[in-house]
């Protein structure tokens, strides 16, 4: 398949006006940190410094929790659901109005292609606020009793892979149910959360309902262990999730954890191969593979292995890697030097353990953090690249002969977040879906997200559900 040469089509940065430095968003205002510490956030595509951001210490977390408590007790929890809904609808509409600005900002700070931030992340952010705005005045019909009460103040910690979308998954249901929040974005991607703080101001959200404290792991730890927090919501690595679970248990804080994954994308011999190849590409190369539910293990039926792999290689040769702001880019930058080092290390382990490594010819930019789309064949279940979450654009290919073998291999993982099944037979889809130990099973598609649909894991992928009616439960005292 020839790769057409396209002229550069960069999205303009002019829509974004970055400040030189950002304070913390506490009690409706941007405020400096108590101890004056700050860190820089960079563009992972160019290593250019974008802005300086305040590092919140324990005293700042205290202030944010106090503001959230005050807003919870005096304003938000007592407000009728219809009034809370108005604010959420207003936020959703402002997100839509600012969609281009938010998409450019997300691609700058995160490194993801503008095509994805513009067409996936930001529309889904607005959709989440619209969806949960609709629930705010209908909670008594949600199946949690006639007058379900909020939990209180929620401490929310989110990762860097979908910065604004994870914020929306956390804040929209929390607010709809009458809780107030203190949220900590990831150290490498704080900018869209700070833009969201400005949106809260623009929406006239009462002070203290949403508080944003920027910082690194220490800030997150101070937040989740704070005695003034009633509920903790975390998305991130299994390792940190376990630490948070241990910290929350003695205080009996309500907790939801959305952790890692090692999803199987299972292609049967009767699958529509071209569509399946698109699903494989979307499954693992979308967002550079920085996706907790990524289809990082391809399980392909032995009889069609050669056909699928040949089509996959042809398709990967057409992917464009480079400037995240170019509208033709398919694969953007790796989010950080640390993540790149982890991807490199595990890929080297894959080779050392005997798997065959392949990448399409592709020039990597000199500046920034980059990794080419990579496929490992000849992978066995014992290989580390088949067991550990790489969280990068790296696919491990395994084969199977029978549905039972596919099922056993798919479930042979400590994780259980998602899975994909590709076949022409509805009966086989149902047979597999009812036996796969995964929170989400996609059939003849992959990585489809919708605010009405619950999302969450089994086993070491965490517990609790986000999205849909089920997502309300985490923020109600039930
Ligand atoms: P982390 O789990 O460390 O980070 C997630 C969030 O938790 C970030 O906001 C982080 O802050 C914060 N945090 C870190 N330590 C603590 C703590 N002790 N208490 C409270 N909050 C804390 O993920 P990493 O970014 O370090 O990525 C490591 C690996 O985790 C990746 O390689 C990937 O495999 C996996 N991962 C999985 C994700 C998923 O969605 N399932 C998302 C992100 C990562 P800060 O960023 O400032 O350190």
Q: Is 214 in the pocket of ligand 1 (CB under 6 A)?
A: no
Asked whether residue 415 carries a pLDDT value surpassing 70, the answer given is yes
Q: Whose CA is nearest to atom 21 of ligand 1?
A: 220
Mean pLDDT of 318-328: 97
- Asked about 362 being catalytic, the answer comes back as no
In this structure, are residues 318 and 331 in contact, taking their beta carbons and an 8 Å threshold? no
Is 342's C-beta closer than 6 angstroms to any atom of ligand 1? yes
Which atom belonging to ligand 1 lies closest to the Cα atom of 244?
Answer: 19
Cα of 236 from ligand 1 centre, angstroms = 4
Does the beta carbon of 33 sit less than 6 angstroms from any atom of ligand 1?
Answer: no
**Considering 258, 388, 460, 473, which one is annotated as catalytic?**
258
* Ligand 1 in reach of 294 Cβ (< 6 A): no
| pLDDT at residue number 89 | 98
Can you give the pLDDT at residue 252? 87
Calculate how far, in angstroms, residue 290's C-alpha sits from the geometric centre of ligand 1. 12
Q: Please confirm, yes or no, whether 292 is among the known catalytic residues.
A: yes
For 10-31, how does the pLDDT look when each residue is reduced to its tens digit (9 = 90+)?
Answer: 999 999 999 999 999 999 999 9
Answer whether 420 contacts ligand 1 (Cβ < 6 A): no
pLDDT reported for residue 5: 83
For residue 1, is pLDDT > 90? no
Is 68 close to ligand 1, i.e. is its CB under 6 Å away? no
Mean pLDDT of 180-202: 98
Mean pLDDT value across the chain? 97
Does residue 3 carry a pLDDT above 70?
A: no
Query: How far is 67 from 75, CA to CA, in rounded Å?
Result: 11
State the pLDDT at residue 115. Answer: 98
100 CA to centre of ligand 1 in angstroms: 27
Q: What is the mean pLDDT of residues 424-452?
A: 98
Taking CA atoms only, the protein residue closest to ligand 1 atom 32 is: 391
Q: Which residues pair with 256 in a beta bridge?
A: 233
| Confidence grade of residue 158 (pLDDT, cut at 50, 70, 90) | very high
Q: pLDDT at residue 439 above 60? A: yes
Active-site residue (options: 292, 293, 389, 473) = 292
pLDDT given for residue 2 in this prediction:
55
Tell me the whole-structure pTM to 2 decimals: 0.97
């Amino acid at each position: 398949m020839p790769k057409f040469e396209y002229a550069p089509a960069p999205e303009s940065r002019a829509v974004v006006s970055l400040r030189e430095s950002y304070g913390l968003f506490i009690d409706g205002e941007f405020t400096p940190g108590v101890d004056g510490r700050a860190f820089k956030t960079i563009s992972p595509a160019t290593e250019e410094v974008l802005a300086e951001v305040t590092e919140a210490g324990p005293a700042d977390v205290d202030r944010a929790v106090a503001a959230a408590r005050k807003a919870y007790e005096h304003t938000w929890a007592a407000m009728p659901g219809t009034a809370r809904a108005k604010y959420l609808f207003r936020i959703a509409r402002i997100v839509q109005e600012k969609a281009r600005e938010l998409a450019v900002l997300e691609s700058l700070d995160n490194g993801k292609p503008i095509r994805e931030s513009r067409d996936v992340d930001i529309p889904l952010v607005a959709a989440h606020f619209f969806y949960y705005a609709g629930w705010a005045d209908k909670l008594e019909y949600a199946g949690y009793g006639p007058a379900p009460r909020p939990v209180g103040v929620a401490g929310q910690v989110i990762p860097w892979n979908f910065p604004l979308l994870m914020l929306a998954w956390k804040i929209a249901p929390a607010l709809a149910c009458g809780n107030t929040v203190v949220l900590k974005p990831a150290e490498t991607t704080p900018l869209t959360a700070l833009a969201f703080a400005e949106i809260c101001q623009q929406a006239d959200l009462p002070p203290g309902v949403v508080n944003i404290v920027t910082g690194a792991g220490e800030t997150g730890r101070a937040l989740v262990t704070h005695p003034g927090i009633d509920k903790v919501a975390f998305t991130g690595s299994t390792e940190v999730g376990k630490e948070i679970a241990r910290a929350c248990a003695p205080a009996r804080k309500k907790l939801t954890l959305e952790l890692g994954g090692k999803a199987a994308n299972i292609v049967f011999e009767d699958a529509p191969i071209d569509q399946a190849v698109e699903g494989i590409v979307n499954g693992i190369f979308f967002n550079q593979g920085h996706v907790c539910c990524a289809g990082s293990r391809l399980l392909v039926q032995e009889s069609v292995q050669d056909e699928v792999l040949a089509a996959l290689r042809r398709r990967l040769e057409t992917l464009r890697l480079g400037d995240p702001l170019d509208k033709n880019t398919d694969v953007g930058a790796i989010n950080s030097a640390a993540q790149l080092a982890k991807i490199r290390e595990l890929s080297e382990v894959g080779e050392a353990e005997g798997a065959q490594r392949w990448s399409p010819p592709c020039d990597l930019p000199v500046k920034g953090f980059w990794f080419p789309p990579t496929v490992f064949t000849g992978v066995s279940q014992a290989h580390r690249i088949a067991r550990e979450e790489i969280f990068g654009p790296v696919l491990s290919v395994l084969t199977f002969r029978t549905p039972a073998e596919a099922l056993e291999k798919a479930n042979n993982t400590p994780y259980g977040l998602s899975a994909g099944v590709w076949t022409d037979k509805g009966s086989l889809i149902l047979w597999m879906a009812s036996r796969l130990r995964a929170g989400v099973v996609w059939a003849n598609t992959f990585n489809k997200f919708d605010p009405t649909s619950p999302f969450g894991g089994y086993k070491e992928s965490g517990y609790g559900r986000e999205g849909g009616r089920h997502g309300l439960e985490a923020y109600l005292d039930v």
